Structure 1
Amino acid sequence: MAVNAIPVDQRVIDIDSRRFASIEKALVELVTNSDDSYARLERAGMQACGRILVQYERHRHGALLTVADQAEGMAFDKACCILSYGGAHSALSQGLDGGRGYFGRGLKQAIFGLGCGWLETIHAGRISRIELFRGADGAYLYDDSGRDREATDSDRERLGIPGNGTRVAIVIESPQVSISQFGALVHSLANNFYLRDLLARRHVEVVHLKDGVEVERSGPVRFDEPPSVVLLGPELPGQFQHDRQTHPFTLTLRRAMGAELTPRGDERTSGLVVLSGTAVLDCQMFDYENQVGTEYLFGTVRCPALVEKLGQGVAVISDERAGLNPKAPFVAAFYRAVSRMIAPCVTAEQEKLGHLERATTSGRTAHMIEHLLQRMNLAAIHDFGIVHPPPPAAHGRRVEAVDAGAVADDADHAALRFTTPFYCRRPDHPFHVRLLVDPGAFGEHAILKVEASLSEGLTISPQPAEIPLRALRDDPRVEWTVTGASPGERGEIVVRVDGYLAWCEIVIAEHASRHSHHARPHPARRRSPRDHGEAMFNGYEFRYLGKEMDRAVYSPDERKILINTAAPTVQLYVDGRGNFRDSARLLLAELFMEVIADELARYRIGTSGRAGDVDAFLAAKRDIVCRYGSDIHLSFMGG
């Protein structure tokens, strides 16, 4: 046995192994190593089959991964040599190879990052086996058995290598590694931009094993390029100057049509894949990275000089291999040249956003807005007595006449209301909460949505859930049984059908009445109900309103808050997909507060007979901002 430590400071391997503890990253290293070997055969004028076979056997807490090729294979001395660590030992840095492998650490970090493993390689009829593992003290070790031996037919059959070739096997046992499902693994390989060009020229297959037996095979793995139109190219020539030398490159820029692109990560589909020889060095949009207008742009840029300079020791890519290093003067010149070529296309995409008709928010932001509007609808009804939003004509006159008569006539026949808005009951005494519904006031497919906010000591049966109104045709009421465990328990039930709201409050008190009491308002004292009514703010929408309009306005006819996509401060936070960025929720808070405060203030001065009084309007608006402004902003600070 010839057991030795990997010839490098063990701390370096430790850092690398933690950084690359990923099955997908390990596969990129191993598959591209096989591709490099095939490329060397092709440059030597030899025939190469280009087959790369990945086998994956997944277990509950680990997995076995192998990658095999039928390329050059390695003699024993060379196999031992590749265990040397660092750029000074790599073939590229010594001028013996092109393409990849400058840092000389891919194989080791792939194995040690996942667990342990071994490589078996056949060259000129002889087989070498080297095992890589960690010692009891944590040291990174290898065992090369001291020599190679003659390859037998059983060796070739076991490895699937009829001539020369190499197979690397890794036992995935690190607890930091996520054990991917077979389908997810194939998908990640097909979309990994480091492999995209390779998959087009090599025959890569992934086999799913169970107890060593094949149960599934992927077929040739290929990147499925989205439908697109060519904006520049294909292979449009370009060049840049550095140190009085001219370096050529070619550029292909496309715009995806009818497909969403992934904006970041190893599986990103937007951006320009930077190729040099067979090496993929990066995927980005150069000076326009992460900028609006690039969301649907993708393509390739090929520059042979990048790898040439890398082999000469120029810091073309970062030490972490996280992409190109723009601080290097050579790379900076390349950046500027590519950025100049793509600038008109990016600008054209950005100009389209100036006329964006619609925009959307993320699901999380939409949920925040929904809760905010419900909160402000409750405030409009309860605090201001707004049963129906005043029509535009009411803005210039007193508003009582708009809804007072309707309220007097229809208070007992509301489309949706609780029998009482306030349930004050004794502890440990079950009581009924009843909701009265007029199904005929709503559409045939309307849904009753229920939201209950109850303290821990309150129990409710049945549990609140959505109810189709057609189920209430025969008995137009909903009843819950509620019990409070102790005094001080409280809660609220809010129900909604389309734009109509109703709610009730529940309080458990020691000295409450033993009997249910459903108060009836005296006819002479009728006023606007404060526990049910139509929502003043039915929703919101991003819409192109023109550059002359405000950033956000209220539409009385639609009962919606409209956010103007033509406003420059709104455009700034809408990407090329028409998605409003979550990072700009503070702007949304300002827009919603402005519109809501305007409308509530306008209603307040209208009911007091001071419509058109600017000072009264501003004073009312200040009061409303002071009262609800914090709640509005807090609604957008939940995550």
Structure 2
Amino acid sequence: MIRRRDGGRASRRGRRLEQIKEIKMTSSRKLQYADRVAIQQADQAIRKDVMRALVEIITNANDSYSRLEDAGVDVNGEMVIDVLRKHSNSKIVVRDFAEGMTDSRMDKVVGTYGEATSGIKEDKHVRGMWGRGLKDSIFGLGYGYVRSFKGANFYSCSLLLKKGIPTFDLDDPIRATVDLRQKYEVLQGNGTIIEIVVSRNDVKMPQFNNLRNYLQRHFELRPIMSNPKRKIILRELANDGSVKQQHTLSYVAPKGEEVLNERLKIPDFPATVHLNVFRSAIQLSTRGEEGDYADGGLLVISHATVISLTMLKFENDPYAGYFYGTMQCDYLHDLLKNDEPVLTATRDGINWSHPFAKALKHVVETELEPLINVEREHALHDEQTKLDKKLRQKIDRALHELNTIAVSELRDPKDVTRKQIELPESGMAFFPEKLYVQTGQSAALILRVAVKENEKQNAVATIISNNSEVIALTPQVTLKKHKTQSSILEARVLVEGRQVGGEATITAYLGKNRAQAVVQVHSKKESIPSTPARGSNALFTDIRFDDRTDPRQRVYFDRVNSSIVIATAAPSVKIYLDENNRLDTTVQGQVLLAELITEAVCREIAREGVEKGRFLVLEGSEADAIQNHFIRLQNRHAHLIHNYIVTKE
């Protein structure tokens, strides 16, 4: 028998190992994150985007106000956002006057990562779904400070990068002195001040006007921006701390008609969704075009908190671009409380692979599909109408004759064609007279005035808008000499649109003279087709048939697009439509069409002539003058218009 030299020792060692295993103790601790993880998480959530960081901070402040309101406390709802742009280390300060924080609260809210600190677990109507939004916002842009007044004390802490290591420093509380309150502009009561230094070289600081535009339009902030109980002020600071400019931010939903308002059951879940959908007459921007700032799409809302903006499977369908609205589903809130992964970890919205999200998506898409199919059918019909060569030729011939009538009535026979700027008889006009402006943006009109003996350079004109959602940013303008024509004074008038689909008449007053321009607010960044100049014989550029126009007005003149619009849904029009919804294929339909066009053409020429000073009118009797000239023009030109339209072809 052959023995192994270490056989005995090996056997004894094995027995000792077994004994050690029997008495081994197990210890546990919280998993520790490496320092780099905080920065990686911030980059994933904020993506080096100042706008995303501000969304987090503004919604945090709104949550604080909401908690006070839920407790029955009256609040002023004010938030002040200060921006100091520099080549490096730009500064952003967001100040609210809500709950404030103590040092222990700061330690939990600012110094801890991933805790549910906003109140969502307690069923409070707040947005905060992760306990890391504030930290991500600060580290995603650089470093920062959180300061707060609570009761009689002042509390402060910082989130800094020390040798590349994310660090939380909590200061000892001190008394809230008058000097401290004046320094941080919280003169009384509680409040919190978030200061971020944009120190990262890979973060681009937006221009102030871009900040203003995009903050107002960001989908997550729309309920805040449109809440009358909130006031958000954006200020641009100079290096010495003075305010260069400030604006109160707001958001108004597009003008639209409600097409769906239903509460729907979600199969296999104890949940419902309230679906409210509107249709805009103007095509809206989509997420594919403008991302988080798109006007189109549905806001997914749970307990007053906006979670996502989506059009589901119709996201890239051009015929879905007319719809907007809300999907209200409070069951999402319940899932979040239970830490269900119904949202993406990077805050990009809903995780549509979650079983409930799939069911919700299917229910809503089923309701949307018929609406979008109708839109598609209308678009195809409109396209077929445009492609009808015979109808197009007929309309073009009629438009030529209608514009000949307009020129004969509105142009002074003594006028001759010249390259110089032409002004109406009143000697005052806007250029252009029709303008599109994108929502949230500003655009310019040029006001021009003929120099008269009693008018001098530096005269001041007053500018007024008749629509609060189309603002005259320059309520008074000073007229200066035109660069090349000394006989003309001009000034630049800035306007801003706040509601998609809104339309306003901008009026300039100078002494007894006035000029008007029509401004329409659009959603998309689109090139605006140039409208014909006054001397180009084109007051009327199209005749359109629209079954969505308000049927209570059978015909109207769209001044922005220079189009005569026939409301084919009007009962007295609808009975004359043929099987293809055409009005021009029968003699009876042509007669009605001629009457409608006569009404629109004569009324617009009368208005144009009175307002531009071409027709004589007594001061203060403009409305009567328009009606009198309308009747005169009908008597003079109705038979000619019938000859152009009633062709019996």
Residue 227 of structure 2 is aligned to residue 203 of structure 1? no
Question: Could you tell me how far apart the structure 1 residues matched to 2:34 and 2:55 are?
Answer: 25
In 1, are the aligned partners of 2:118 and 2:126 still within 8 Å (CA)? Answer: no
Deviation, 1:79, is: 0.7
In 1, are the aligned partners of 2:147 and 2:194 still within 8 Å (CA)? Answer: yes
Q: Name the aligned partner's letter for residue 82 of structure 2.
A: Q
- Work out which of the two has the higher radius of gyration on C-alpha atoms and give 1 or 2: 1
Question: Could you tell me how far apart the structure 1 residues matched to 2:217 and 2:178 are?
Answer: 37
Question: Could you tell me how far apart the structure 1 residues matched to 2:327 and 2:104 are?
Answer: 37
- Which residue of 2 is the match for residue 133 of structure 1? 160
* Structure 1 residues 170 and 306: CA distance shift in structure 2, 3 A: same
* Structure 1 residues 54 and 331: CA distance shift in structure 2, 3 A: same
Q: What whole-Å deviation, never above 9, does each CA across 1:459-492 have from its counterpart, x for those lacking one?
A: xxxxxxxxxxxxxxxxxxxxxxxxxxxxxxxxxx
Helix, strand or coil at the partner of 1:167: strand
In 1, are the aligned partners of 2:145 and 2:156 still within 8 Å (CA)? Answer: yes
Question: Could you tell me how far apart the structure 1 residues matched to 2:184 and 2:364 are?
Answer: 45
Question: Could you tell me how far apart the structure 2 residues matched to 1:42 and 1:35 are?
Answer: 10
Decide which of 156, 162, 181 is 1:156's aligned counterpart: 181
Question: Could you tell me how far apart the structure 2 residues matched to 1:224 and 1:93 are?
Answer: 27
Question: Could you tell me how far apart the structure 2 residues matched to 1:124 and 1:59 are?
Answer: 35
TM-score after normalising by structure 2: 0.51
Question: Could you tell me how far apart the structure 1 residues matched to 2:327 and 2:126 are?
Answer: 15
- Which residue of 1 is the match for residue 248 of structure 2? 220
TM-score after normalising by structure 1: 0.52
Decide which of 285, 306, 326 is 1:280's aligned counterpart: 306
Question: Could you tell me how far apart the structure 2 residues matched to 1:177 and 1:359 are?
Answer: 51
Q: What whole-Å deviation, never above 9, does each CA across 1:557-596 have from its counterpart, x for those lacking one?
A: xxxxxxxxxxxxxxxxxxxxxxxxxxxxxxxxxxxxxxxx
Deviation, 1:262, is: 4.0
* Structure 1 residues 8 and 214: CA distance shift in structure 2, 3 A: farther
User: Please, which runs of 5 or more residues in structure 2 have no aligned partner?
Assistant: 1-30, 387-417, 420-649
Q: Name the aligned partner's letter for residue 172 of structure 1.
A: V
Decide which of 15, 25, 29 is 2:40's aligned counterpart: 15
Question: Could you tell me how far apart the structure 1 residues matched to 2:201 and 2:233 are?
Answer: 27
Deviation, 1:82, is: 1.0
Decide which of 275, 279, 301 is 1:251's aligned counterpart: 275
Deviation, 1:358, is: 8.7
Residue 352 of structure 2 is aligned to residue 330 of structure 1? no
In 2, are the aligned partners of 1:287 and 1:336 still within 8 Å (CA)? Answer: no
Helix, strand or coil at the partner of 1:237: strand
Q: Name the aligned partner's letter for residue 275 of structure 2.
A: L
Residue 247 of structure 2 is aligned to residue 193 of structure 1? no
* Structure 1 residues 55 and 358: CA distance shift in structure 2, 3 A: farther
Decide which of 148, 159, 171 is 1:121's aligned counterpart: 148
- Which residue of 2 is the match for residue 319 of structure 1? 345
Q: Name the aligned partner's letter for residue 129 of structure 2.
A: Y
Q: Name the aligned partner's letter for residue 332 of structure 1.
A: K
* Structure 1 residues 109 and 88: CA distance shift in structure 2, 3 A: closer
- Which residue of 1 is the match for residue 373 of structure 2? 347
* Structure 1 residues 216 and 250: CA distance shift in structure 2, 3 A: farther
- Which residue of 1 is the match for residue 585 of structure 2? none
Q: Name the aligned partner's letter for residue 152 of structure 1.
A: T
* Structure 1 residues 350 and 218: CA distance shift in structure 2, 3 A: farther
Deviation, 1:89, is: 4.2
Q: What whole-Å deviation, never above 9, does each CA across 1:328-385 have from its counterpart, x for those lacking one?
A: 112222212222222211121222333352999xxxxxxxxxxxxxxxxxxxxxxxxx
- Which residue of 1 is the match for residue 324 of structure 2? 298
Helix, strand or coil at the partner of 2:194: strand
**Count of aligned residue pairs for this structure pair:** 351
Deviation, 1:52, is: 0.6
Deviation, 1:192, is: 0.5
Q: What whole-Å deviation, never above 9, does each CA across 1:523-578 have from its counterpart, x for those lacking one?
A: xxxxxxxxxxxxxxxxxxxxxxxxxxxxxxxxxxxxxxxxxxxxxxxxxxxxxxxx
* Structure 1 residues 89 and 274: CA distance shift in structure 2, 3 A: closer
User: Please, which runs of 5 or more residues in structure 1 have no aligned partner?
Assistant: 1-5, 361-443, 446-639
For the aligned residue pairs, the C-alpha RMSD in angstroms reads: 2.5
Of structures 1 and 2, the one with the larger relative CO (CA 8 A, separation 6+) is 1
Decide which of 69, 77, 82 is 2:104's aligned counterpart: 77
In 2, are the aligned partners of 1:226 and 1:257 still within 8 Å (CA)? Answer: no
Question: Could you tell me how far apart the structure 2 residues matched to 1:92 and 1:8 are?
Answer: 25
Question: Could you tell me how far apart the structure 2 residues matched to 1:84 and 1:219 are?
Answer: 33
In 2, are the aligned partners of 1:99 and 1:307 still within 8 Å (CA)? Answer: no
* Structure 1 residues 14 and 213: CA distance shift in structure 2, 3 A: closer
Q: Name the aligned partner's letter for residue 254 of structure 2.
A: P
- Which residue of 1 is the match for residue 292 of structure 2? 266
Helix, strand or coil at the partner of 1:322: coil
Helix, strand or coil at the partner of 2:377: helix
Deviation, 1:294, is: 0.9
In 1, are the aligned partners of 2:81 and 2:234 still within 8 Å (CA)? Answer: yes
Between the aligned residues of both structures, percent identity stands at 27
Deviation, 1:215, is: 3.3
In 2, are the aligned partners of 1:119 and 1:129 still within 8 Å (CA)? Answer: yes
- Which residue of 2 is the match for residue 50 of structure 1? 77
Residue 208 of structure 2 is aligned to residue 182 of structure 1? yes
In 1, are the aligned partners of 2:90 and 2:197 still within 8 Å (CA)? Answer: yes
Q: What whole-Å deviation, never above 9, does each CA across 1:434-470 have from its counterpart, x for those lacking one?
A: xxxxxxxxxx99xxxxxxxxxxxxxxxxxxxxxxxxx
